[in-house]
Structure 1
Amino acid sequence: MTPADLSLTVLHAVRRAVDDGALRVDVPPRVKVERTRPGGVGEYASSVALSLARPAGRTPLDVAGILRERLQDVSGLRRVEITGPGFLNFTLRGDADTDLVREVLAAGTAYGHGTDLAGTFVPLAATTAPRDALVTETFARLLRSQGADVEIGRYGEWLHVHPGEYDPSYGDDVLRWAFLRAAPHDRPLDLAPLLVPHERNPLFRVRYAYSRTRQLLVNARQLGFAPELGEPGEFGDHAAPLLGALRDHPSALLAAARRRAPDRVARHLEAVADALLAFQHTVLPLGDEKPSAAHRSRLALAEAAGTVLAGGLSALGISAPDRI
C-alpha cells in the first residue's frame, strides 16, 4: 500500500462515515498522509480528524474513533491507532512490503504514474531561456505522468540557444541535473563537482546506485539464482528505509507535477539511492553461504529500487547507465 493508496483509503473512510450519518461534514477533496515523525507510532499518520472536528461539531478524538472503526478491516493495514489529540497512525501489514515490490516490478518505470490530474489541461508558454525551457519540458513530462493534458510551445534545442553560455562538454545529463536539482528560484548547481565520480556528487550517487542494482542481478545469475518474492519479512530489518523510499515515489512525482518542482524528484532519487546503497550488502550470499529465499526476495527489492531510479531519472530526461 503506497501513501497515495493509504490517502484514498482514509478518504473512503471519511466518505462512508458521512454517508451513514456518523459525520456531518463536507467530504474533503483529499486526505494528507505523512510518514510518522521520530518518536511517533506506526509508519504513517494523518491529522484529518483534527481538521474535520470543528465542522463536524465533534472532538478530534471522536472523529478519529469514527474513522478508526471504518479502517479496522482494511487489507494492507495491520493496526490503526489514535495518538495525541486525535492523530490517526497506521502500521502496514507485513505482506504490504511484498505487494509494494510486486507492484513496482509490474509497473516498471511507469511506477508512480497516475490519474490524479486527469481532465486537467495545462498550456505552457514557450521560452528560449535555457533553464526555463528545460524546467518547462520536464514539468510537462511530470504533468503527463499524472494524467494531465499538456500543450507546450516549440522552443528548439535548448542546449544551443546561447552558444558559449554553457560548455557542451559537460554533457546533457550533467546540465540537466544542475538545472533541475536546484529549486526553480535558486541558482543552478555548480557544474564542475557534478563531473567528479565521488559519493559527494549526488548525480553520480544516484546513477551509481542504479548501476549497482544491475550488477547485483548479474552477480546473482552467476551464483545461480534470480529475484523471487517469498514470505513477508524476508527483506530483513535493514530494508525499511528502502521500502519507505519506494513507497513514497508516487507522492514525489505527484507533488513535483502539482508544484512545478522537478527538484523534488531529484531529492527523492537521492533518498532512494542512499537507501539502496545501505541495503545492497544484504542482497548476495557471503562466503560459502548458499542463496536462500531471503536472498531472492532482497534481490527483487533491489531490482525494484533500480526500476524506481531509472523511472525517476527518465522523468528528468537523464540517462541511467547499466555500468558506471
Structure 2
Amino acid sequence: MTPEQLRDVVRTAVAAAVERGGLAVPVPDDVVVERPRNPEHGDYATNVALRLAKPAGQPPRAVAEAVAGRLREQPGIAAVDVAGPGFLNVTLARGALGRIAVDAVTAGPAYGHTDALAGQRLNLEFVSANPTGPVHIGGTRWAAVGDALGRLLEAAGATVTREYYFNDAGAQIDRFARSLVAAAHGGPVPEDGYAGDYVGEIAAQVVAAEPGVLELPEADQQERFRVRGVELMFAEIKRTLAAFGVRFDVYFSERTLHETGALEKAIARLRENGHVYEADGATWLRTTDFGDDKDRPLVKSDGDPTYFAADCAYYLDKRSRGFDKVVIMLGADHAGYVGRYRALVAAVGDDPDANLEILLGQLVNLVRDGRPVRMSKRAGTVVLLEDLVEAVGADAARYALARASVDQQIDLDLDLWSRQTNDNPVFYVQYAHARISSVLRNAADLGIALGEPGDVDTAVLTHERENDLLRALGEFPRVLTSAAELRAPHRVARHLEELAGTYHRFYDSCRVLPRGDEETTPLTVARLWLCSATAVVLRNGLGVLGVSAPERM
C-alpha cells in the first residue's frame, strides 16, 4: 500500500465516521500521510484528526479515536494508535507494505506519475541565451534544471511546452555582426564587440558560405554577417543543447514580433487598458500602478521599440496560444526584471499570481584542485557547456546542476564529479541501479523469474531493511508531486540518493539469491520483486533528471 493509497483509505475511514454520526465534518479532499521519524511508531502517520478537530467542535484526541475505530476496519491495516495530541500512527498488515514493490514493477515507467497538475497548460521558457555566443555555464544550469522541471511537471500531469526565446534583433545582434566582420577582415575586436575564438570560427564559416561577402559595401557586409552569423551561431547552440539531452518544442524568434506587427498590437492593447502615456517624446507603460519602482518605456524617443515592448508582445503571444501560466527561468542578475514583468501582466488584464511565474537561479562556480576554473578554450573569459561536459560527462553535469536548489549558488568540484567512487552522488545512484541489474541478470541465469504479480507473497518481506526500502519506494510518487509543485527537481535527486543508500543497506543485510544447492523460496522471489521495484524507481527518477540508468558500470 503506497502513501497515496493510504490517503484514500484514511479518507474512507473519515467518511465512515461521518456516516455513523461520530463526526459532523466535510470529508477532506486532501489527507497528509507521512513516514514517522521513529519506525517504532508505525509505517505511516497522519494529522487528519488535528485538522478536523476545530470544524468538528471536538478535542483532537476524540476525533482521532473516532477515525481510528473506522480505520482499523479497513483492509490492509494491522494497527492504528492515537498518539500525542491526536496523531494517528498506522501499521500496515503483513503484505500490504510489500505490495508497493508489485505496484512499482507493474506500473514500470509510469510509477510515480500522478494527476496532481492535470489540466494545467504551462509554457516553460528556459536558457534563451542570445545567439551571440555558445551556451555558457549559467545557461547550462538552466538547461539542466529547466529540462528536468519540464519532465517533472509532465510526470505530475501538466501539459508542458518547452520554449526557447532567442533575441535575434536589437543592439547586441548588431555588435555581434560587427565583431564577425572585424574577424573576417583580420581586424581587432570592436570596443563593444564579442571576443573569443568562436567569433573567428563563425566569421570563417560565413566567408566560406558566401565567398564574395567581403567585397560588398560595408552596410551589406554587416547585414550578411548578421543574418548568416546568427543562423550559424544558433545552429551551434541547438546542437550543443541537443548533445546535452535538451530539446525544445518551440524556438521563438524575437524578430517575428517586429515583423508581424505584434509589438504595435501589444502597445495598442495596453493603451486601450488605459496604462500608456507619452512623455519626453517616448511612449511609456505606467507600471508603477502595479507595484513597479518606476514606469517603463515602450518606445524610445527615436521611435525604436524597447526590449520591454517585445516582452509585452511575447507574453501576449504565449497567452494567445492557450497557456494558463507562463513560467520563465532567469539568472539572479535579472531579479530586477520580476517587478516590471509582473506589472505588464497586470496591465494587460491578467493576474500575475495565476498567469506568471518567474524562477531565479544563482551562479555556478567551477572548481578544480581547490581553485576556480575561469577560462574556456573557445570563449576566452567564460566556461561553456561543452567545457563542463568534457570535464565530467553529460550525466554528472546534469545531475550536479539539478541536485541543488536553484536559489543556492553552486561550487561545482570537477574532481569530485569526475570520480568513479561513491562520494560522487551520481555515481552512487547509478551504481545502485547497475548493482540491481547484475542481481536480475544472475537471477535469470539461475532460471528464477518474477512470475505473475498476483502470485508473489509479499507478506514474507518482514526484515527491517526490506521495510525501509519499501517505504522509500512508496514515497516516490509524493516526492515527484511535491517537487513539481515546488519547482524543485533537486528533491528528486536527494530522494534517489536516500533510496540508493537504503538499497545498499538492504543488499548487505538481506541475501537475495540462493547459494549452491539452496532452493528458491517465496522470499527469494519477493526480494527479486523488491530489487526490480527499486530499479524502476531509480530509472524513473534519473529519467526525470535526464540522466541515464546504466545496467553495467
Pairwise same-fold verdict (TM > 0.5): yes
TM superposition score normalised by structure 1? 0.91
Deviation digits for residues 24-51 of structure 1 (CA, Å, limit 9, x no counterpart): 3454441111111227521111112112
What is the match of residue 457 of structure 2? 231
Deviation at 1:20, TM superposition (A): 5.7
In the aligned structure 2, how far is the partner of 1:273 from the partner of 1:209? 6
What SS is found at the alignment partner of 1:144? helix
| Change in 2 beyond 3 A, CA 1:130/1:17 | same
Which residue, out of 296, 302, 316, partners 2:545? 316
The yes-or-no answer on 1:181 pairing with 2:409 is no
Deviation at 1:308, TM superposition (A): 0.9
Contact 2:18 2:25 survives alignment (8 Å): yes
| Change in 2 beyond 3 A, CA 1:270/1:39 | closer
What is the match of residue 272 of structure 1? 499
In the aligned structure 2, how far is the partner of 1:253 from the partner of 1:160? 21
Contact 1:178 1:191 survives alignment (8 Å): no
What is the root-mean-square deviation in Å for CA atoms of aligned residues?
Answer: 2.3
What SS is found at the alignment partner of 1:302? helix
In the aligned structure 2, how far is the partner of 1:301 from the partner of 1:150? 33
Higher strand share: 2
Deviates more, 1:236-245 or 1:155-164: 155-164
What is the match of residue 94 of structure 2? 94
In the aligned structure 2, how far is the partner of 1:141 from the partner of 1:109? 13
| Change in 2 beyond 3 A, CA 1:40/1:86 | farther
Gaps of 5+ in 1: none
What is the match of residue 127 of structure 1? 127
What SS is found at the alignment partner of 1:154? strand
Which residue, out of 407, 429, 433, partners 1:206? 429
Deviation at 1:147, TM superposition (A): 1.0
Which residue, out of 185, 193, 200, partners 2:416? 193
What is the match of residue 249 of structure 1? 476
What SS is found at the alignment partner of 1:153? strand
Deviation digits for residues 276-308 of structure 1 (CA, Å, limit 9, x no counterpart): 122224112235433322112211211111111
What is the match of residue 265 of structure 2? none
Please tell me the residue identity of whatever aligns with 1:225: I
Deviates more, 1:93-102 or 1:177-186: 93-102
Which residues in structure 2 correspond to 1:133-152 (within 5 Å)? 133-152=143-162
Contact 1:36 1:43 survives alignment (8 Å): yes
Deviation at 1:207, TM superposition (A): 0.4
| Change in 2 beyond 3 A, CA 1:184/1:15 | farther
Deviation at 1:52, TM superposition (A): 1.8
Contact 2:99 2:458 survives alignment (8 Å): no
Deviation at 1:245, TM superposition (A): 0.8
Contact 1:183 1:261 survives alignment (8 Å): yes
What is the match of residue 154 of structure 1? 164
Contact 1:146 1:254 survives alignment (8 Å): yes
| Change in 2 beyond 3 A, CA 1:216/1:53 | same
What is the match of residue 531 of structure 2? 302
Deviation at 1:148, TM superposition (A): 1.3
In the aligned structure 2, how far is the partner of 1:102 from the partner of 1:149? 28
Q: Percent identity?
A: 40
In the aligned structure 1, how far is the partner of 2:140 from the partner of 2:525? 45
| Change in 2 beyond 3 A, CA 1:220/1:60 | same
In the aligned structure 2, how far is the partner of 1:312 from the partner of 1:245? 13
Deviation at 1:95, TM superposition (A): 1.6
In the aligned structure 2, how far is the partner of 1:258 from the partner of 1:19? 33
In the aligned structure 2, how far is the partner of 1:43 from the partner of 1:272? 17
What SS is found at the alignment partner of 1:11? helix
What is the match of residue 106 of structure 1? 106
In the aligned structure 1, how far is the partner of 2:456 from the partner of 2:74? 22
In the aligned structure 1, how far is the partner of 2:414 from the partner of 2:73? 52
Contact 1:211 1:321 survives alignment (8 Å): yes
Deviation digits for residues 111-168 of structure 1 (CA, Å, limit 9, x no counterpart): 0111122122333234333212332221121111111122331264545999643413
Please tell me the residue identity of whatever aligns with 1:183: S
In the aligned structure 2, how far is the partner of 1:51 from the partner of 1:171? 48
What is the match of residue 273 of structure 2? none
Deviation digits for residues 90-122 of structure 1 (CA, Å, limit 9, x no counterpart): 111112133211111111021011112212233
What is the match of residue 57 of structure 1? 57
Deviation digits for residues 66-111 of structure 1 (CA, Å, limit 9, x no counterpart): 2123322222211122112211111111121332111111110210
What is the match of residue 84 of structure 1? 84
Deviates more, 1:205-214 or 1:194-203: 194-203
Contact 1:175 1:191 survives alignment (8 Å): no
In the aligned structure 2, how far is the partner of 1:95 from the partner of 1:145? 28
What SS is found at the alignment partner of 1:70? helix
Contact 2:13 2:74 survives alignment (8 Å): no
TM superposition score normalised by structure 2? 0.55
What SS is found at the alignment partner of 2:538? helix
Gaps of 5+ in 2: 129-138, 166-237, 247-375
Deviation digits for residues 196-226 of structure 1 (CA, Å, limit 9, x no counterpart): 1111111111101101111101111222322
In the aligned structure 2, how far is the partner of 1:223 from the partner of 1:257? 41
Q: Name the count of aligned residue pairs.
A: 324
Contact 1:7 1:31 survives alignment (8 Å): yes
What SS is found at the alignment partner of 1:97? coil
